[in-house]
């Protein structure tokens, strides 16, 4: 039986951890809180917006970000960090730009002292420092093991319990398997990896390329152009990840091409939606003002472009996305410039 609706658990083993705190009340945080509760963990769900968390506590739904997801009564919902009780697993599910401040607030509570693992569920690279999310968390919350949960995972589909696969990356194999056990359900399958750098860079890099795919759709460039764009995006990811200490083969797994495909083509992708509106002629300022959702690709394009420039990594597609988002270059002109570049071999992976 394919995972997705009904059936017995794929494992008779209970999860390795008994409790978890999910920090971040966006759509993905909401989906993960419900998923972990279904797996049998004691779940606390924290968000910084007191009014929103009060509403969720009363209605058991996050009307702002994921109204289709019902949060069972067993999930503790709060905006008060001081009220949180120690837990085995801490999951950071906040926008990448807020990861450092949130980690500092958690550190002040001392919750990390009793935790066994801190899991980063944010996708991004910090501007200026160039650090990955798990690196920031390891600095801010020392002591526990640190892991990453990533992959082609749209919260809207997780809320419907549609078949989902993810990757748990951690330098410690035992910890990776322990986190994996918490994300093993009839409809949720997870794999392990020890390539933490590779999966985090892949997760961050797919966002700008999803904006580019959306732009191509908004400009009505056709399926051929979008397929070519996504393929060349993967080539840029391989070059960058190799330079940043990850393994190129990670790009061909769920954290790489899997997440890239989902984000570049899905109607659920915020980055894809931003790109489509840009291609249709809407200004970036108006797009940002019109939604509460965070499109990680906008700030992360600057971080990634800066990293590529500093290491002399050839990334023409990323450069054009940066020019559109941060230098005001017209989208149609950027796409034309990409097509008019000098011809070269497809297999040329030189930096």
Catalytic residues: 206
Q: Is 29 annotated as a binding residue?
A: yes
88 contacts 18 by C-beta, under 8 angstroms: yes
Q: What's the token pair of residue 134?
A: 């798990």
Q: Is 151 annotated as a binding residue?
A: yes
DSSP lists the bridge partners of residue 119 as 91, 147
d(CA 222, CA 41): 46
Q: What's the token pair of residue 225?
A: 């152009």
DSSP lists the bridge partners of residue 185 as 188
Q: Is 329 annotated as a binding residue?
A: no
Q: How far is CA 343 from CA 41, 109, 315, 339, 347, in A?
A: 55, 56, 15, 9, 12
Residue with tokens 């984000």: 263
d(CA 216, CA 210): 10
Q: Is 271 annotated as a binding residue?
A: yes
d(CA 164, CA 107): 32
Q: Is 206 annotated as a binding residue?
A: yes
178 phi, psi to nearest 5 deg: -65, -45
Q: Is 34 annotated as a binding residue?
A: no
Q: What's the token pair of residue 170?
A: 């951690």
d(CA 115, CA 80): 18
Q: Is 46 annotated as a binding residue?
A: no
Q: Is 214 annotated as a binding residue?
A: no
From the list 120, 123, 104, the residue with the least C-alpha distance to 298 is: 123
Q: Is 296 annotated as a binding residue?
A: yes
Q: Is 28 annotated as a binding residue?
A: yes
Q: Is 155 annotated as a binding residue?
A: yes
d(CA 179, CA 124): 21
Q: Is 24 annotated as a binding residue?
A: yes
DSSP lists the bridge partners of residue 118 as 90, 146
d(CA 99, CA 78): 19
Q: Is 85 annotated as a binding residue?
A: no
Let me know the angle formed at the C-alpha of 285 by 284 and 286, rounded to the nearest 5 degrees.
90
Q: Is 25 annotated as a binding residue?
A: yes
Residues annotated within the binding site for NADPH are: 27-28, 48, 65, 123, 155, 270, 294, 296
Residues annotated within the binding site for NAD(+) are: 24-29, 155, 270
Residues annotated within the binding site for substrate are: 123, 270-271
Residues annotated within the binding site are: 24-29, 48, 65, 123, 151, 155, 206, 259, 269-271, 294, 296
Residues annotated within the binding site for sn-glycerol 3-phosphate are: 123, 151, 206, 259, 269-271
């Amino acid at each position: 039986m394919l995972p997705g609706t009904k059936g017995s658990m794929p494992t008779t083993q209970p999860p390795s951890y008994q409790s978890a705190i999910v920090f971040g009340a966006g759509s993905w945080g909401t989906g993960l809180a419900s998923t972990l509760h279904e797996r049998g963990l004691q779940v606390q769900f924290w968000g910084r917006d007191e009014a929103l968390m009060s509403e969720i506590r009363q209605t058991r739904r996050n009307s702002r970000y994921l109204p289709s997801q019902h949060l069972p009564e067993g999930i503790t919902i709060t905006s008060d960090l001081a009220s949180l009780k120690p837990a085995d697993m801490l999951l950071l599910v906040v926008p990448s730009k807020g990861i450092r401040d949130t980690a500092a607030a958690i550190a002040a509570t001392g919750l990390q002292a009793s935790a066994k693992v801190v899991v980063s569920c944010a996708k991004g690279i910090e501007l200026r420092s160039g650090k990955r999310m798990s690196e920031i968390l390891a600095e801010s919350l020392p002591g526990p093991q640190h892991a990453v949960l990533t992959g082609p995972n749209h919260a809207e589909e997780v809320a419907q319990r549609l078949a989902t696969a993810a990757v748990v990356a951690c330098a410690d194999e035992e910890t990776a398997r322990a986190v994996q056990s918490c994300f093993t359900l009839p409809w949720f399958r997870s794999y392990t990896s020890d390539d933490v750098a590779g999966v985090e860079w892949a997760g961050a890099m797919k966002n700008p390329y999803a904006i580019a795919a959306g732009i191509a759709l908004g400009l009505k460039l056709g399926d051929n152009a979008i397929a070519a764009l996504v393929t060349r995006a993967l080539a840029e990811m391989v070059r960058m990840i190799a330079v940043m200490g990850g393994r190129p083969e990670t790009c061909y797994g769920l954290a790489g091409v899997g997440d890239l495909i989902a984000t570049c083509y899905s109607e659920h992708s915020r980055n894809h939606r931003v790109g489509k509106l840009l291609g249709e002629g809407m200004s970036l300022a108006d797009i940002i003002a019109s939604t509460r959702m965070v499109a990680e690709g906008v700030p992360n394009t600057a971080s990634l472009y800066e990293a590529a420039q500093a290491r002399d990594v050839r990334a023409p597609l990323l450069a054009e996305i940066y020019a559109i988002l941060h230098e005001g270059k017209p989208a149609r002109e950027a796409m034309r410039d990409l097509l008019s570049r000098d011809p070269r071999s497809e297999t040329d992976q030189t930096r």
